[in-house]
Structure 1
Amino acid sequence: MHDSPGPGHVNFTLDLTQEEARRRAEVVAALGDAWDPVAALRSEEEAHRLLYSGLDAEQQRTYAMLVAAGVLPGGDAGDAAPH
């Protein structure tokens, strides 16, 4: 790789660090003061637990296979009764 530009080419560098910081600040501002990240995470974990609860044996095997393959995050599949 050459550090100097060839004929008719100009090196161009763009640092997006400041723009990314501004974008993140805008996202947090848009979420508002009432946003609770811990509560949001708990709600997401509860939704995941409920989604994969009540699986029958075949569904549980498929779930375990997908977790082992890295397709789904691991963890407890929930404790509701099978449908």
Structure 2
Amino acid sequence: MNEENLTGHIPFTIDLTFEEARRRAEVVTALGPDWDPVAVLQSEEEAYTLLYSNLDAEQQRTYDLLVAAGVLPGGEPGRAAAH
């Protein structure tokens, strides 16, 4: 017996590899020739550092608590929240 006879449905699969490659190419094209991913990442690092600088004692305790809980990423490179 084939799968169609067991479920009453005809199996259907589609490979989206080509469409995903096309989509990614369109995104890169839309970003334009002036897009500099290294500069973008550096700007994000600077913004993150500025956001969490000059915290008062209570804010720093809250920040440390959130980092320890995995809600906020820590200060390590490639950081990302655990949850």
Normalising by structure 2, we get a TM-score of 0.81
Residue 26 (structure 1) aligned with residue 47 (structure 2): no
Which structure exhibits the higher relative contact order, with contacts defined as CA atoms closer than 8 Å and separated by 6 or more residues?
Answer: 1
Partner of 2:80: none
Give the percent of matched residue pairs that are identical in Structure 1 and Structure 2: 73
Structure 1 or 2: larger helix share?
2
Partner of 1:16: 16
Structure 2 residues not aligned, in runs of 5+: 77-83
Partner of 2:37: 37
Partner of 2:69: 69
Residues of 2 paired with 1:75 and 1:15: CA distance? 39
Normalising by structure 1, we get a TM-score of 0.81
Higher mean displacement: 67-76 or 40-49? 67-76
SS at match of 2:54: coil
Q: What is the deviation of 1:8?
A: 2.6
Q: Which amino acid aligns with 1:64?
A: D
Structure 1 residues not aligned, in runs of 5+: 77-83
Q: What is the deviation of 1:7?
A: 4.6
Q: What is the deviation of 1:16?
A: 1.1
Higher mean displacement: 13-22 or 28-37? 13-22
Superposed CA deviations along residues 23-73 of structure 1, whole A, max 9, x for unmatched, are 111000000000000000000010000011110011001101111111111
